[in-house]
Amino acid sequence: MKRNNDTMVLSNSRQAANVCNWWGISVKKKKIIFIVLGIIVVAGGLFATIRMKQNGVVTVQTGRTLKQDLTSIVTASGEIKPRNYINIGANAFGRITDLLVKEGSRPARQR
């Protein structure tokens, strides 16, 4: 292959088949470049897919089973509301004169 100024003169047809129009890069090198670029694109797609699937993943802490008290401290601002509201009222009006239980005592089972 000889170069004359800005044009390329090929000495035989075999060299003509191996040269691409890209800055004189051979077809073999062109195939290698496309294969490498294809691998990079596929690897990037796999990486992005795995990364997107991990967005909703919640990390969980595990441990051995033990008998123990569970405690949790929560600090928040706002208002606590019950799920259900129940209006308790009496059908008869009167005055409470005596309470036969102490505050905090557990009810006894009736026989």
CA 8/CA 30 separation, integer angstroms: 18
Express as a percent the part of the chain with pLDDT over 90: 16
Tell me which of 103 and 40 has the higher pLDDT: 40
Which one has a higher pLDDT value, 19 or 23?
23
- Rounded CA-CA distance 51/57 in Å is 10
Instruction: Please give the torsion angle defined by the CA atoms of residues 78, 79, 82 and 87, in that order, rounded to the nearest 10 degrees.
Output: -170
Pairwise CA distance, residues 33 & 41, whole Å: 12
Mention every residue, 6+ apart, whose C-beta is less than 8 A from residue 16. Answer: 10
Neighbouring C-beta atoms of residue 30, cutoff 10 Å = 15
**Domain spans of the chain?**
2-53
